[in-house]
Amino acid sequence: MNDLRCVVILNSELPTGKAANAAAVISLTLGQRHPHFVGSELIDGSGQSHPGLIPVGIPVLSASNEQLRSLLSQCAEYGFDRILFPVEGQMTVDYTAFSEAVSRIPTEELQHLGMGIVGEKKALRKLTAKLKLFG
């Protein structure tokens, strides 16, 4: 894991609440797909145990929809794992309806709220170097 990092990239047009939701959804899926990112449990001064957190930073960056599309294709070239969150994900709370909506849209026409990327540290930094922090 030492040479792997992850990053969350959000659509620059998202308002704060929708951005927080998108980051949470993407991060939950990143943790599920890459459980090695979760650190060991934390013990506080009273001896109380708490679940481990990620021991490396997770930059939350900002990109336009066009940049997100470009990053998606570049991730394939690098062999990076990516988690996509299409706009349809915030249009319903019914996962079946969400899944059906996405199934009708060709990949190149999907509009994204954001994405998570996991890849080799140096290559991932190079890929995202021109992006700014979200907010």
pLDDT tens profile 60-101 = 999 998 999 899 989 989 999 999 999 999 999 999 999 999
Q: What pLDDT score was predicted for residue 2? A: 67
Q: Check residue 86 and report its DSSP letter.
A: E
Which among 17, 24, 4 has a CA at the least distance from the CA of 85? 24
* Residue 16 token pair: 């704060």
The identity of residue 93, as a single letter, is: V
Which among 116, 28, 19, 29 has a CA at the least distance from the CA of 75? 116
Q: What pLDDT score was predicted for residue 1? A: 53
pTM to 2 decimal places: 0.91
